[in-house]
Structure 1
Amino acid sequence: MTAAAGAPTALHRPAPQQHVPDAGTRPGTRLATRLAAPEPGWTVEVDAIVVGSGIAGLTAALELRTRVPRVLLVTKDTLVSGSTVWAQGGIAAALDPTDSPAAHLQDTLVAGVGLCDPRAVEVLVTEGPSRVRELVARGARFDRSPDGEISLTREGGHHADRIAHAGGDATGAEISRALVAQIEAVRDDPGIEVVEHALVLDVLTGPPGPDGRPGAACGVTLHVIGEGQRDGVGAALGKAVVLATGGIGQVFRSSTNPAQATGDGIAAALRAGAVLGDVEFVQFHPTVLWAGSGARGQLTLVSEAVRGEGAILLDTDGVRFMPAVHPMAELAPRDVVAHAIVAQMAATGAEHVWLDARHLGADFLRKRFPTIHERLLDHGIDLTTDLVPVAPAQHYHSGGVVTDLVGRSSVRGLYAVGEVACTGVHGANRLASNSLLEGLVFATRAARHIASQVQGGVLRQSSPVQRPGDEALVAAASRARVQRAASEGPGVLRSGAGLRRAVTALAAVPTDAHERLDDGRLLAHPQVAEWETTNVHAVATVLTATALEREESRGGHARSDFPATDPDWQVRIEVALDPDGTVTTRRSESTLR
């Protein structure tokens, strides 16, 4: 970083604000409005800050680089990290002349079970084909058919072949490679700076409004993890902040997400005063390699594309069960398949079902799914000759920071794109392969909007002030405790009793580890593992609260005590913190019509 700044950034304390609870308040549920962390020891100022290096973050940074004077791209690990690189299936877009955006829109709305914002879906499907072609222009090499056109296949919930893929089952890795190469090509450009190995702690906000809520976003605090030109905590100031931090997988004991997916962006946005939406809708991928009841961490995904090519599901008695569940059988929307698998496991007393692709032929499977084939071989399973044991595991978060059609959150100057955002595209359940497209489309929109606002003087740099409310730190040793509560409460199949137990368990987790003494010593000091665990705890808390409030089953939210979909619940539950950190919820249906 090149900015001069030896002295810490001054954060001015506003006068205390009186809290008046509304009808949506859940008494006693409070979260911190900032992380416990050292004061920033250095400062840098730019025009826009992008946090994250998946498809959404890289696209936003590349778009902004040519439109504003200075862009800072911050990523928690290296540029080639995050969830995009793990995406196996592909990217959905109506590229075939026999397909149409209208058909893609209809499939998306059906998968979202009444909670999609039709305006956002229309943006996605109409702009998607152009954005994919721009991705090709940026160097992404998709698989081609013999006539030279992009090869398209089908996945669950789609009624047309519209999934573009690369390297058979390495689409995310190819997209990441192409976009990172574009960033690397401009690394020496003074208009962009890349900081790797940096965890963003909090979004900085300006003076509060009359209601006491935080003011405009004006930067971030971040901790550079032993790499780069500066170590420790610093402050990056900017006119706009773009969160592209990915998902919440590590909130659960097992997930297909990488270790970096600790919900940092959604937690930071919540602390900064942003509204969250659809938090309760978590997608559990139906076919994740079952590696034993004690498996933890990132698990091996067996892409939906395998079923798209004709693989079938069998229970442990060898019975195919999906045709009796849904007309699309194994290609039903993911929530339907996941819940059917859980039901079949319960009926047979098994811990998994079988995925059978053997009839597709060894040569085809090795060519179409080379990555999956190799990863399964690492576990002693041959996709071409063996049945593959699979069970659902956490895969994708359909909710996040509520945004409009250009990525703006409820906090001025704060944008969110990709999985961390709630654009309204996914509703209660993401349609297969819409996630990469969403990141691509809305990152482009957000970057172009930010540029126009910066150039027009609408977004200006303000000075950060310290927000009222508590600061928090959860000891890293508590993470397993939090993950157990999330997995047993708002897991694949939920119940009121289980969710209430999770609420109690999460409330009992100490959030003042930086102040609490144990035999004369602090339980924990502010550092990366503790900051991540604090984020995991905050996300688990609001996830459990919203899952308990929604008394129905819909999409990725399944309640055994409320098994039916209720028309009265065709609303979005929105969550925010009051100025003192009280969790409040409200129901909104204005964007769903």
Structure 2
Amino acid sequence: MTIDVPQHILDALTDVDMPRLSPEAASSETVRLAGLDVPVYRAGCVVVGSGAAGLRAAVEMKRRRDDVVIMSQSAWGGTSACSGSDKQTLHTANTADQGDNFKAMARAIRAGGAMDEDTAYVEAVGSARMMASLQFLGLPLPQDPLGGTLRYQTDHDEVGRATSCGPRTSRLMVKVLAEEAIRLGVPFFNHTTAVRILTQGEGEHRRVVGVLAIRASDRSDANQFGLALFACEVLVLAAGGPGELYRDSVYPNGCFGSLGLALEAGVELVNLTESQFGIGTRREGFPWNLSGTYVQAIPHIYSVDADGTEHHFLAQYYRTTQEMASNVFRKGYQWPFHSTRMLDFGSSLVDLAIFRESAAGRRVFMDFNRNPLPVPGDLPFDLSRLDDDVKRYLGNAGAGQEMPIQRLRHMNPLAIELYRRYKVDIAAEPLEFAVNNQHMNGGIMVDTWGRSSLRGCYAIGEAAGTHGVTRPGGAALNAGQVFGTRVAEHIGARGQARTAPTADILAVAEAGAIEILAILRPDSFLTVKTIRSQVQSRMSDKAGLICDADGVCEALAEARKLNAEIKEKGIAFERAAEAGRALQWRQTALASEAVLGALDYFIRNGGGSRGARAICDPDGELVPIANSGPLEDYRFRKERGVHREEQIIVRLDSGTMAISTRPNRKFDESAKSFFERDWPAWLTGGIYNLDES
């Protein structure tokens, strides 16, 4: 059987046009800051980021009649609009053959450890509401004839909670939320980069009073950099993850996130040791994750050396053709690298093999016009000789076609169409790929209402460090929607964003502008190019999926040295338009030191391999074994269970990364609500804990 989906349907789900923004409101006020004429914009709340999470927060705040604006470096240019977020993981109570409950889903979300139990439950219980509201806005989640949402199994998910509109799922989410934000009249400030959070007060009473930004449209003879002042009492950081941290990355170009911005403001970050790495096409072309049906079609994977010679390298790692092909398939729902899956000839041995080929200077490809070549001495590839779970899946999918491209076209024709839109025809030519950084599971530390350690500052989406060590694939999209709504509810209950602030913050803004200009030094030997090269090479080579204590310690010393040099010498730029990028690389260098500092602390305190990183150690308890024998160079430490119960906190304190730990917050599964007892807390706003704000 072949599923024939009309071309116009494939086009609609692949070429997702985004709405046109309304004209921006002009500033009616100008102040003099550090010798520059700086326009002033005022709003009750500024949301930094125009992805799915930021849009959700802005829409929900506008519905509550709060005064909110969105600040975006590049509207519709971020991770959720442009990268391979192809699924959303949601509660499955409406799926007859796979029952679910919120507590079970919460346990799955937090299963990897280092995650607050109450946060996991918030994400689980909020997921059904997020799915329904997105469907109401027009997100075309697929249904069966009786109205149940179609589901499938994804990574770290044993129930089958994932659903998808195809490879453009997250872009379609951005589209429907953007249309709603525009309909509601939420002002957008596009091509606007937040570069400094402004605060007043000391200690626990310190609070947000505004943001300094760089805006191309505000550049003038009296303001060469386009510096702009946004006065606000509430700030929501929703600018995604630090995609520029790694050279080998599947993030779209220019995704810097806001971790460095938060560090400079003294905001506490958490779980920076936790990231995700997996196979995907390189960012130099069209960056995209190669999970799901790309590998479930079981293409032939090979490498090419400098002489053009092909190498069937996976045959060196697996004992039989069946074992090799079955583990290529499993990368579909075990997509992220996981240290323990290198053992027992598991699916992450594929990642390690690809990583080693790339390190040796070979290019790696998958060919959808060839079935996997056999392991020498074993039988050839045959769909009838696969592991039982693989045969069962392909059988249920009706994917018994002879060639991988035929199986892929049958299971997911959108996968082929997507690359074709970017001038890559995987039906005709092999696809080059590598193991890349894909997601930061850590970020800004928040409570169950999205509040950070800085009063008035919230964080949502990938900017928030809520994900722990592992998470079901697609759960991050759900988390951004849940916490975007939670943040809006809390801000609405506080009432501080109803109107734009009128307080005089000129002194604070002046100090912030002076600090910014101190970084922008045309005579510095440090340039954006040199900082980018240092940071990305260091992170990819020393803090990727394969780490060791000495390498991380050495990288941390180099990162500290770089930040000291930036503080002393500043960053050079060739023209005023590059000022914003220079400041972002300053913040990325800080974020790099924070990640390395947390990782070094973890390893020095006996931290083992977990999640997306293998901590290699000659005295490690575990060693991956390949067809050729033990891979002693990759012997690694075993995870220590005690570390699952805590999180590592990083805060920039007087130029030094202060590192500490805290235990995970707990959730009492035996606690039960009671309507008459608990309703008053809802009616009076007691559920928002406003006395702690």
TM-score under structure 1 normalisation? 0.81
Deviations 1:363-389 (A, max 9, x none): 663365445314545788765687755
Matched, 1:90 2:87: yes
Q: Distance in 2 between matches of 1:227 and 1:463?
A: 21
Contact conserved, 2:85 with 2:167, CA < 8 A, in 1?
yes
- Determine the structure 1 residue equivalent to 2:446: 403
Deviations 1:20-52 (A, max 9, x none): xxxxxxxxxxxxxxxxx9867121221111010
Deviations 1:211-242 (A, max 9, x none): xx781012211111237999811111112100
Equivalent of residue 283 in structure 1, options 266, 276, 292? 276
Task: Letter of the 1:550 partner, please give it.
Answer: F
Equivalent of residue 442 in structure 1, options 478, 483, 487? 483
Matched, 1:496 2:549: yes
Equivalent of residue 586 in structure 1, options 660, 663, 668? 660
Cα distance change, pair 324–148 in 1 and its aligned pair in 2 (3 A)? closer
- Determine the structure 2 residue equivalent to 1:566: 640
Task: Letter of the 1:560 partner, please give it.
Answer: C
Structure scoring higher RCO (CA < 8 A, sep ≥ 6) equals 1
- Determine the structure 1 residue equivalent to 2:149: 150
Aligned-pair RMSD on alpha carbons?
A: 3.7
Task: Letter of the 1:508 partner, please give it.
Answer: K
Cα distance change, pair 457–396 in 1 and its aligned pair in 2 (3 A)? same
Q: Which stretch has the larger CA shift, 322-331 or 151-160?
A: 322-331
Larger Cα Rg: Structure 1 or Structure 2?
Answer: 2
Q: Which stretch has the larger CA shift, 378-387 or 391-400?
A: 378-387
- Determine the structure 2 residue equivalent to 1:99: 99
- Determine the structure 2 residue equivalent to 1:22: none
Contact conserved, 2:328 with 2:350, CA < 8 A, in 1?
no
Q: How many residues align?
A: 544
- Partner of 2:665, secondary structure, is helix
Cα distance change, pair 129–510 in 1 and its aligned pair in 2 (3 A)? closer
Contact conserved, 1:89 with 1:304, CA < 8 A, in 2?
no
Post-superposition offset of 1:546: 1.1
Post-superposition offset of 1:504: 3.0
Post-superposition offset of 1:492: 1.6
Matched, 1:216 2:207: yes
User: Structure 2: any 5+ residue segments left out of the alignment?
Assistant: 1-24, 302-311, 316-320, 342-346, 372-382, 384-398, 521-525, 618-635, 668-693
Cα distance change, pair 472–69 in 1 and its aligned pair in 2 (3 A)? same
Q: Distance in 1 between matches of 2:243 and 2:322?
A: 30
- Determine the structure 2 residue equivalent to 1:195: 189
Task: Letter of the 2:164 partner, please give it.
Answer: H
Cα distance change, pair 356–491 in 1 and its aligned pair in 2 (3 A)? same
Q: Of Structure 1 and Structure 2, which has the larger fraction of its residues in helix?
A: 2
- Determine the structure 2 residue equivalent to 1:226: 217
- Determine the structure 2 residue equivalent to 1:15: none
Equivalent of residue 291 in structure 2, options 285, 293, 304? 304
Contact conserved, 1:524 with 1:530, CA < 8 A, in 2?
no
- Partner of 1:6, secondary structure, is strand
Contact conserved, 2:295 with 2:329, CA < 8 A, in 1?
no
Q: Distance in 2 between matches of 1:370 and 1:527?
A: 43
Q: Distance in 2 between matches of 1:523 and 1:380?
A: 33
Matches within 5 A, 1:248-287: 248-263=242-257, 265-285=258-278, 287=279
Q: Percent identity?
A: 20
Matches within 5 A, 1:381-396: 383=426, 390-396=433-439
Cα distance change, pair 107–388 in 1 and its aligned pair in 2 (3 A)? farther
- Partner of 2:584, secondary structure, is helix
User: Structure 1: any 5+ residue segments left out of the alignment?
Assistant: 10-36, 290-294
Task: Letter of the 1:232 partner, please give it.
Answer: G
Deviations 1:67-108 (A, max 9, x none): 244211111112454434423421011232433134433332
Matches within 5 A, 1:446-465: 446-454=487-495, 464=505, 465=508
Contact conserved, 2:491 with 2:497, CA < 8 A, in 1?
no
- Determine the structure 2 residue equivalent to 1:31: none
Q: Distance in 2 between matches of 1:251 and 1:346?
A: 18
Post-superposition offset of 1:514: 8.9
Q: Distance in 1 between matches of 2:449 and 2:570?
A: 46
Q: Distance in 1 between matches of 2:574 and 2:78?
A: 31
Cα distance change, pair 535–142 in 1 and its aligned pair in 2 (3 A)? same
Cα distance change, pair 312–446 in 1 and its aligned pair in 2 (3 A)? farther
- Partner of 1:8, secondary structure, is strand
Contact conserved, 2:57 with 2:487, CA < 8 A, in 1?
yes
Deviations 1:155-189 (A, max 9, x none): 122122322211x22111211111111122234xx
